Structure 1
Amino acid sequence: MRTIYTLTFLGFSTVMAGLLTSCDSAKPEERTAVKAAPASLPDSAQVILASTEQASVAVTAPIINLSADAAAILAKPQVPILCYHQVRDWRDSDSKQARDYIVPTAVFRDQMQMLADSGYHTILPDQLMAYLTTGAPLPEKPVMITFDDTNLDQYTNALPELEKHNFKAVYFIMTVSLNRPRYMTREQVKELSDKGHAIGSHTWDHHNVKKYEGNDWITQVAKPKKVLEEITGKPVTYFAYPFGLWNKEAIPELKNNGMTAAFQLAAKRDEQDPLFTIRRIIASGYWSPIRLYKNLEGSF
C-alpha cells in the first residue's frame, strides 16, 4: 500500500530564502535539504564550449553551455541533491556521529519509497547542467541521489532499492578502494555505468583538496579520472570534494584536469564558478522518510 505524504509542495519556481550552514557543523535534526547545482559532460552530450566551439555528438543529448553567465546560474532555483555514504544496519560499535553518515537499509528503503510515492524524479548531472546553463526543463519535483566512497553496500543494499523505482544515481568513486574488502569491484562500477548510473571521481584516497600541492593533482585527480574512464569506457568529468571541502585554488586545477563541474556539501557557492561548488545535503541515518520529505519540500 502506497503511503501518501500530504505536505504542500511549494513549486519549482520558488527560490530558497536562505543558504544552508555547513553540513558538518549542523545537527542532523537541524539540517534543511539544499537545492544544489549540477555537474558535467557525458560522452553523448552536445556541449557549447566556452570558446564557442561546438562538439555535437547526439541530437537527443542535453545541450550544456559552459560559457553560461555565473550570475544567471546562481539565480536559478537549486535542485535538491542528496549525499549518501554507507547503507547498512547500525552496529554497536558505530558512534552517534558515525550513524549520521550510515543509513540503515530499511530506512533507505523507506526513503526511496517516499520519493517514489511523493512524485519525485531522479535526474543525472548532465540534465542538471543543461537546466543551469541553458534553462532546459527538468521533470516535476527533480532530485539527485549521490553516493560517495565506493562502499560495497551501495551496490548490495542501495542499488536494489533504486531499481525498484527505476531511480538513477551518481556514484563518486574513490579509486584506491576498488576491489578491496567492503568496497566495490571494478566490474561492479562498470555494471553501474552500463545500467545508466553516472560515475564520478572522488579522488584516489580521499585526501583533502585544500592540502594538495605539486603532483597531488596528478595522483588524486588525473590518474583516478583515467582509471574510471578505462573501467566505464566513458568520459568522467564530475568530481566530489572529499569531506565537501574546497578552495578557489582547486577550481582551475580541476578544470586543467578535465573536470567540468564539482560537488561540495553545503558551504556558500563560488560566485565566479558555481558549477564547481555544487551543493549537496547529507542524508542522515537519523532521518525518517517524513523528515526527509519535509527537508526536500522546504528546499523549493
Structure 2
Amino acid sequence: MKNLLFCFYLGFFLLIGCQSEPRKIIPEVPVVAAPAKVVVPQKVAADATTILSRKEVPILCYHNIRDFSASASGNIKVYTVKPPAFAQQMKALADAGYETILPEQLYNYLVFDGPLPAKPIMITFDDTREEQFSIGAAEMKKYGFKGVFFIMTVSINRPGYMSKEQIKTLSHDGNVVGAHTWDHHMVTKYAGDDWNTQLVKPKAKLEEIIGKPVTDFAYPFGLWNTAAIPEIKKSDYKMGYILATKRDSVDPLYTIRRIIVSGTWSTEGMMKSINSSFTKSE
C-alpha cells in the first residue's frame, strides 16, 4: 500500500514538473532619466525709447534714374539721378566698404539688437519706374548690393513702369518688394475705404506676384500722421518708411528715416550727406 502511494505521489510531481516551464531570467533594464527640457529664453522686444537710441542705419531713396537737361525743373533735378551718376555712387559706396542690408535685418537690429555689418546701408527705390530695374538693380548687382523696391501698384505694366515679371525677378534675385500704395495718394488724406484701397489691396496684389509676404510700406511723399500708423499696423506691415523728417516717439518702426538722393549732388556730396544725415540728432 505504501509503495502504491509513493508511486502515485512520485508520478504526480513528475507530471507537474514536465508541464511547468523553466524560469525565464529577464535582464534588468536600467532606468534612464528623461533629458531635461531645454528652455530657450524668448527675445524681449525693445521699447520705443531703446529703438530711438540705436544708431540709425543710413537709408537712401531713389526715384528716377535717367538723363535730364540743364533747363529741367528743380523738382525733376531733385528726384532724378543720371545713370552715370548712379553708377559712380554705387562704386563709391562699395569702395568705402558699405554693405547693403534689407528690412528684416534692420528690424532685428532695431527690435532685438541683432548684428549688422561694420558699414551698413539700405538702398530703396520709390514709384516703380522701369529704369530702377534695368539700370538700378543691374548696377547694384555688380557689387553684390540688394535693394528695396516700393511699388505703386496702379502703375504696374504701364509704359515706363515695371512689369509683373520684372517685379517678380527683383524678388527672386534677393531684393525686397514693398508697398507704396495703389496710386500715390498721400495717407494724410485717407478716409473710409481708402485704407483698404491704398494699403490692403496693394499688399495682396504684390504678394500674389512675388509669392512672399510684403511687410514694408513707404509713405507717398514721405508724409505721415499718427492716425495712419494704427491702420498700417492693422494691414500687417512691420515697418513704415518716411523721408528726412523726425521719427515718431511712440512708433519709430513706422517712421524709419530715409534721404532722397538728389540729382544735383556730386558723388562726394552724396557720401557727405550720408554721414551728416544719419548722425544721432534726436
Among 82, 91, 95, the alignment partner of 1:117 is: 95
Deviations along 1:169-192, one digit per CA (max 9) or x if unpaired, are 000000000000000000000000
Report how far residue 92 of structure 1 moved. 6.2
CA contact (8 A) 1:123 1:168 kept: yes
Partner of 1:8: none
CA contact (8 A) 1:64 1:126 kept: no
Distance 1:64 1:88, change over 3 A: farther
Looking at structure 1, the residues matched to 275 and 230 of structure 2 have their Cα atoms a distance apart, in angstroms, of 34
Looking at structure 1, the residues matched to 250 and 266 of structure 2 have their Cα atoms a distance apart, in angstroms, of 37
Partner of 2:206: 228
Deviations along 1:216-275, one digit per CA (max 9) or x if unpaired, are 011101000000000010000100000000000000001111111100011111111000
Across the aligned residues of Structure 1 and Structure 2, the Cα RMSD in angstroms comes to: 1.4
Q: Which has the larger radius of gyration?
A: 2
Q: How does 1:1-300 map to 2 (within 5 A)?
A: 67-91=45-69, 94-298=72-276, 299-300=278-279
Equivalent residue letter for 1:246: W
Higher mean alpha-carbon deviation, 290-299 vs 162-171, is at 290-299
Looking at structure 1, the residues matched to 233 and 171 of structure 2 have their Cα atoms a distance apart, in angstroms, of 23
Dislocated runs of 4+, deviation >6 Å: none
Looking at structure 1, the residues matched to 86 and 159 of structure 2 have their Cα atoms a distance apart, in angstroms, of 22
Equivalent residue letter for 1:156: S
CA contact (8 A) 1:264 1:277 kept: yes
**In structure 2, the residue corresponding to 1:137 is in which secondary structure?**
coil
Looking at structure 2, the residues matched to 274 and 85 of structure 1 have their Cα atoms a distance apart, in angstroms, of 24
Equivalent residue letter for 2:205: V
Partner of 1:4: none
TM-score using structure 1 length: 0.77
**In structure 2, the residue corresponding to 1:172 is in which secondary structure?**
strand
Looking at structure 1, the residues matched to 132 and 186 of structure 2 have their Cα atoms a distance apart, in angstroms, of 23
Report how far residue 139 of structure 1 moved. 0.3
Equivalent residue letter for 1:209: V
CA contact (8 A) 2:206 2:214 kept: yes
**In structure 2, the residue corresponding to 1:146 is in which secondary structure?**
strand
Partner of 1:33: none
Looking at structure 2, the residues matched to 81 and 92 of structure 1 have their Cα atoms a distance apart, in angstroms, of 28
Looking at structure 1, the residues matched to 218 and 275 of structure 2 have their Cα atoms a distance apart, in angstroms, of 24
Bigger RCO (CA 8 Å, 6+ sep) = 1
TM-score using structure 2 length: 0.82
Equivalent residue letter for 2:50: A
Deviations along 1:191-223, one digit per CA (max 9) or x if unpaired, are 000000000000000001000000001110100
CA contact (8 A) 2:137 2:147 kept: no
% same residue: 54
Looking at structure 1, the residues matched to 257 and 171 of structure 2 have their Cα atoms a distance apart, in angstroms, of 23
CA contact (8 A) 1:241 1:263 kept: yes
Q: Provide the aligned length of Structure 1 versus Structure 2.
A: 237
**In structure 2, the residue corresponding to 1:79 is in which secondary structure?**
coil
